[in-house]
Amino acid sequence: MIKASKRAMGIEYAIRDVVLPARELEKQGVKIIKLNIGDPVKFDFQPPEHMKKAYCEAIMEGHNYYGDSEGDKDLRAAIVEREKKKNGVDITPEDVQVTAAVTEALQFIFGALIDGGEEILIPGPSYPPYVALVHFYGGVPVAYRTIEEEGWQPDIDDMRKKISDKTRAIAVINPNNPTGALYEKKTLQEIIDLAGEYDIPIISDEIYDLMTYEGKHVSPASLTKDVPVIIMNGLSKVYFATGWRLGYMCFVDPENKLAEVREAIGKLARIRLCPNTPAQKAAIAGLTGPMDYLDEYMAKLKERRDYIYKRLNEIPGISTQKPEGAFYIFPKIEDGPWKNDKEFVLDVLHNAHVLFVHGSGFGEGGEMHFRSIFLAPVPILEEAMDNLEKFMKERLG
């Protein structure tokens, strides 16, 4: 047998552990309600028409070549305008790197920061690729606590305790996956102050920035004076184009402390040639075009959020915080016979025929929780909640 690298073989994606048994059940003809995938386009959401049209036109007009490795000039200008308007940041197109979505931005950043043994602070619980990619590059992901009772806000004291001389970045995921938390301005200011005290840059994942319910998203980049912040964003969520794989990062770095890291990222960008050329033309249409589709979509999501939040809290043995952003809810398993959250999720799958993701799949802080999406229309959520309620009543006797 030809050996694969330990680095690649060591990659864990716990979310898949529950997908395989679900597929087995489906093969046997069992209908499963899938509330596990964070892809709006698998439900009743689509990228807006003007973006789809621009993508098709770009192909037909011949924009099918290798572009600049840093990204299309006009797109970078559009990103600057969007970020100035949204976050009031002082950046130029030279501060923007277009990527194959946020996932590639993470690869570039960790590739540029980690030699081996460096630590990256990440929220606990956290979107799994953060853990997997930091490990892949030879780094150590260190989770800082987020406080469930406070709507999953980061615990700044814990963050401080987790900083060491090996810490190379603090990752902030806001709105958060899997908790749906929207961080308060005060908390973000405290993170900036802490990062400034120890001279650590912030990586700010803002992929859900305009997907908020009652509150509004605040970027740490809008609060910084000297602390470098790398904003990451893209088309996947707010523009409902998950499959186009397009995103970007912006360096908000008033004192140019990231000069070498930026050079390293530029090198990584050049060896992968360029981002998808026609998708970048569609991105220009998205970033400069009307956003009224988002009001309609957010109204739909709010109705679904309100519904699932109410139903989950009425089910015995389950309690949940209210998500303030994104389209995830992260309830706690308060009571029941299960040894751990994975056992719970598999029991629900086999007996209530609803697929959630076990909380421990999101790392530290996720134990005895599960993640559900609420992208599905209310009648589907209703069926899922009815099944779950019946199941919990049976299990709790």
- What is the maximum span of the chain, computed from C-alpha positions, in angstroms? 65
**Contact between 101 and ligand PLP (CB under 6 A)?**
yes
Q: What is the contact mask toward ligand PLP in residues 10 to 49, using x (rule: CB under 6 A)?
A: ----------------------------x-----------
| Beta carbon nearer to ligand PLP, 105 or 352 | 105
Beta strands 357-358 and 119-124: pairing type?
unpaired
**Contact between 127 and ligand PLP (CB under 6 A)?**
yes
Query: CA 174, CA 128: separation in Å to the nearest integer?
Result: 15
Stretch that binds ligand PLP, among 98-106, 135-143, 309-317, 358-366 (CB under 6 A): 98-106
Across the beta sheet with 140-147, the strand order is 96-99, 247-252, 229-234, 202-205, 167-173, 119-124, 140-147, 153-154
| Beta carbon nearer to ligand PLP, 173 or 308 | 173
Beta strands 167-173 and 119-124: pairing type?
parallel
**Contact between 205 and ligand PLP (CB under 6 A)?**
yes
Number of residues in contact with ligand PLP under rule CB under 6 A: 13
Cis status of the peptide bond prior to 316, with omega within 30 of 0: no
**CA 380, 151, 392, 352 torsion-angle sign:** positive
**Contact between 234 and ligand PLP (CB under 6 A)?**
yes
Please report how close the Cβ of residue 287 comes to ligand PLP at its closest, in angstroms: 14
4 to 7, 8, 111, 130: CA distances (angstroms): 9, 7, 20, 22
Please report how close the Cβ of residue 102 comes to ligand PLP at its closest, in angstroms: 3
Query: CA 231, CA 229: separation in Å to the nearest integer?
Result: 6
Q: What is the contact mask toward ligand PLP in residues 150 to 179, using x (rule: CB under 6 A)?
A: -----------------------x---x--
Please report how close the Cβ of residue 270 comes to ligand PLP at its closest, in angstroms: 20
Query: CA 16, CA 22: separation in Å to the nearest integer?
Result: 10
| Beta carbon nearer to ligand PLP, 177 or 219 | 177
Closest CA to 224 of 182, 185, 187, 253: 253
Residue of 124, 247, 278, 286 that binds ligand PLP (CB under 6 A) = 247
**Contact between 103 and ligand PLP (CB under 6 A)?**
yes
**Contact set with ligand PLP (CB under 6 A):** 38, 101-103, 127, 173, 177, 205, 207, 234, 236, 242, 247
